Amino acid sequence: MTHVHATAAPPAGTGPEDLRRYLDGLWEKEPFVHAAAWTEHLCGVLPLLDLFPDASHDPQEPRRLVEGVRTGALLAALGLFTPNTHFAPSLPAVRAERVPGLGLTLEGRFRYASPQADLSLVPLRVAGEEQLRLVLLPHTHDGLRTYGAGRATEPGWGELTGAVVQEAELSHPVTWDLDGPLVRVLDSYGWEFARRSVTWSARVIADLRRSLAATGSGTEALSTSQYLAHELSKLEIEISLAAAAASFGAELKGEEPGGQSAAAVLLAATDLLTRTARVVEDMSTELGLTPSPCAADSWPAGQIQGYFGGRRMAESQLARRMGLVPEAVAR
């Protein structure tokens, strides 16, 4: 497994504009697997650490984890988007129960996007509590098994069986209320991810067109096929429209966090990521393209569906914000 080194992290104390410039440079120079992982760490995980109690007086281990994530010594992923029957992240798949003299025992599973991550920020459904808790779980934690699923051979899932954490490791109680801090952070992260991921999709399609042009010569080059050109043009138009919407960020409709525009643009971005990867893989295999964008070691075939839980989870979030999901599930 190729690890995403902490040297990719920006200097501590950078402001919002500095962070955006840093991320732009990261997505321009680094492969998707690195750029996306650090965007999630910086824009998704770090702000959510504010939901935890002050770690300065915590026991050594939770303090070490929080400090490691803040400094970039440890790469953290979000384990918030695990599919369930309703595709609702507000219904976490990890259950926690307090056991006197032991701590909290954890059972269940969670999904995370980057197999290079050292730990994940995981939501817990604690017995006897209505609100959720978050916990930072190292992927080497006792009682935690990480694994791949489907075509993804690298880890992207965690299964917890009798894992134990302590009360001091838990966040304050949190909810998925649309006006709450959790949704506010994730909407902000979603805008940053969407803008850059659709740009990545556009670059990949451009690389695919160059591969088509290099296969054959003159009027025999595959790039001259109107059939292929029509298929790619439809995708490029959608990418262009999504990129234009994502470029406005939260100013697109002037909505507060929890609005429909953030969820709609994120859905478009996650859907286009999946479709772009499938088109490139399909054409490269069917047409025998050499070189091919998906031939690189860093091609993220097994990872792109992990960010924000993929298309189905993103669809569920948009439906929730449109009022199409029962309140009992939405919350």
Q: Along the 331 residues of the chain, how does pLDDT read in single tens digits?
A: 344 444 455 655 668 888 999 999 999 999 999 999 999 999 999 999 999 987 555 566 777 898 899 989 999 999 999 999 999 999 999 999 999 999 999 999 999 999 999 999 999 999 999 999 999 999 999 999 999 987 777 889 999 999 999 999 999 999 999 999 999 999 999 999 999 999 999 999 999 999 999 998 888 899 999 999 999 999 999 999 999 999 998 888 888 899 999 999 999 999 999 999 999 999 999 999 988 999 888 899 888 889 999 999 999 999 999 998 765 555 5
Q: 10 Å Cβ neighbour count for 255?
A: 14
| Residue 222 and residue 129 share a domain | no
| Residue 284 and residue 188 share a domain | yes
Q: Using CA atoms in the order 128, 130, 131, 136, what is the torsion angle rounded to 10 degrees? A: 30
Return the closest-CA partner of residue 119 out of 4, 33, 16, 9: 4
Any idea what the Cα angle at residue 253 is, between residues 250 and 258, rounded to 5°? 60
Q: How far apart are CA 28 and CA 22, in angstroms?
A: 10
Number of domains observed in the structure of the chain = 2
| Residue 158 and residue 65 share a domain | yes
What residue numbers bound the domain in which 305 lies?
181-330
Return the closest-CA partner of residue 70 out of 119, 105, 115, 36: 119
| Residue 225 and residue 133 share a domain | no
Q: Which of 145, 169, 193 is the last residue of a domain?
A: 169
Q: Which DSSP letter does residue 298 get?
A: T
Give the count of alpha carbons within 13 A of 271, CB side only: 16
Tens of pLDDT, residues 272-327: 999 999 999 999 999 999 889 998 888 998 888 899 999 999 999 999 999 987 65
Length of the chain, please? 331
> What amino acid occupies position 9?
A
